[in-house]
Amino acid sequence: MSGLLKNSLFCTGRSQMFGKRKFYSLKEILKKGATYNIIMGERSNGKTYAALAYAIEQFFKTGKQSVLIRRWQTDITGHRGSQMFAAFTSDFIKKVSGGQYDAIRYYSGKFYFGNYDPDMDKIIYSDRGLFCFLMALSDNEHNKSLSYPDVSTIIFDEFIAKTLYLPDEFVLFMNTLSTIIRDRTDIKIFMLGNTINKNCPYFEEMGLSNVLSQKQGTIDIYSYADGKMKVAVEYTAPNASNKENNYVFSFQNPKLETIKTGAWELAMYPHCPMKFDKDDIVYVFLIKWKKAVYQCEIVNKDFNVFIYVHTKTTPIKDDNTTLIYDIIPTGRCNYSSNIFNPRNKIEQLIRNLIVSDKIFYQNNMIGDYVNSFLNSCKGL
């Protein structure tokens, strides 16, 4: 078999791996009949494969096409784009197409079913085999002029980012869906993500109030528009016992748990370096972020000056005197939207302590959230 055929068809690795361990299946979430199907879990557990296989099967069952979305244009450029369906075998294509096709050809943002011609050493395809469009969320303006009347499946892969999201990304995603869907209702949307960062704007924007406390192996249902629209959120069951190479990731680092079990990735943040009393607290300010409020105390203990951050357990006193950082501007004099843009000496001290890494946290979860706030401030 030529190099061209190997690259244009699909490697056999996936089918071999299926024989060794159990991979994710859409079976349970499809039973919920939801418009949005959000699937989160460990890396390489078969989420993307299952969704792409569903799109392929829908094409041969109904003639309907699909759209595969990634966040950045670089995610779909060149080899990265052409390999999106590289997990499927020629045998799989023959079986699902009833022998009609044996290969897939990628060209100019579109995937086509076709047949490999060994004499010409290339895949022969036509518009009749067009089954999937590939697009980047960051290139939304260019996608608006296109039409997708036969699309019924939309897959947003890796919707949970490690750090950086597009500006106002949720609205951008909604606009992209509007471009694809138009006035149709026969749409099923899959949003696939690895559990690498709990600070995901989609959770708050979509009102997924239980997602951060949801247990693995469960599916939560959220209803909107008087029950006309449902969102199903599945936190996939851990598959660690079936991974033969898990020993490679045996180091005691919480960031590796998402690889091994699908547990949310959590960084290690510095905890309070010493005990201190109330008398050692020289200033208190607050950070509001993601509907939570964190109390930040500037501590001067034995000439060691640092910030200690913990959960605020009492309501905010609306006295216009406490300094409050909130990324959403309020216009009030005691509020600031950017912690790195100081307006006076105390705010300058706060910024200097942060950039000098003299900020400590009650626990890693709080560190994760506050660090997300700080990164958002850096982007302003």
3-class SS shares of the chain: helix, strand, coil, % to 5: 30, 25, 45
pLDDT of residue 251: 53
Q: Helix (H, G, I), strand (E, B), or coil: what is residue 246?
A: helix
Which residues, other chains included, contact 224 with Cβ-Cβ below 8 Å and sequence gap of 6+?
207, 230, 231
Tell me the mean pLDDT in the region 74-89.
Answer: 90
Tell me the mean pLDDT in the region 154-160.
Answer: 97
Q: Which of 42-51, 321-330, 348-357 has the highest mean pLDDT?
A: 348-357
- Do 98 and 60 meet the contact criterion of CB atoms below 8 Å apart? yes
Long-range pairs, 247-252, Cβ under 8 A, ≥24: none
Query: Has residue 212 got a pLDDT over 90?
Result: no
- Do 69 and 176 meet the contact criterion of CB atoms below 8 Å apart? yes
Write out the two tokens for 156.
Answer: 């947003």
pLDDT of residue 9: 37
Fill in the DSSP letter of residue 160. Answer: S
- Do 133 and 155 meet the contact criterion of CB atoms below 8 Å apart? no
Query: Has residue 62 got a pLDDT over 60?
Result: yes
- Do 118 and 51 meet the contact criterion of CB atoms below 8 Å apart? no
- Do 189 and 36 meet the contact criterion of CB atoms below 8 Å apart? yes
Query: Has residue 276 got a pLDDT over 60?
Result: yes
Tell me the mean pLDDT in the region 351-373.
Answer: 92
Mean pLDDT of all residues belonging to the chain: 86
Q: Looking at domain 3-260, what is its CATH homologous superfamily?
A: P-loop containing nucleotide triphosphate hydrolases (3.40.50.300)
pTM for the whole structure: 0.70
pLDDT tens for each residue of 335-355: 999 999 999 999 999 999 999
Taking the C-alpha atoms of residue 380 and residue 142, their distance in angstroms, rounded to an integer, is 26
Of the pLDDT bands very low, low, confident and very high (cuts 50, 70, 90), residue 114 is very high
Of 28, 55, 81, 86, the closest CA to residue 235 belongs to 28
Within the chain, how many helices (H) and strands (E) appear? 12, 15
Domain with CATH 3.40.50.300 in the chain: 3-260
Tell me the mean pLDDT in the region 297-317.
Answer: 93
Straight-line distance from the first to the last Cα atom of the chain, in angstroms, rounded to the nearest whole number:
53
Write out the two tokens for 28.
Answer: 């349970």
pLDDT tens for each residue of 225-255: 888 899 999 999 987 555 555 545 455 455 5
Tell me the mean pLDDT in the region 123-143.
Answer: 90
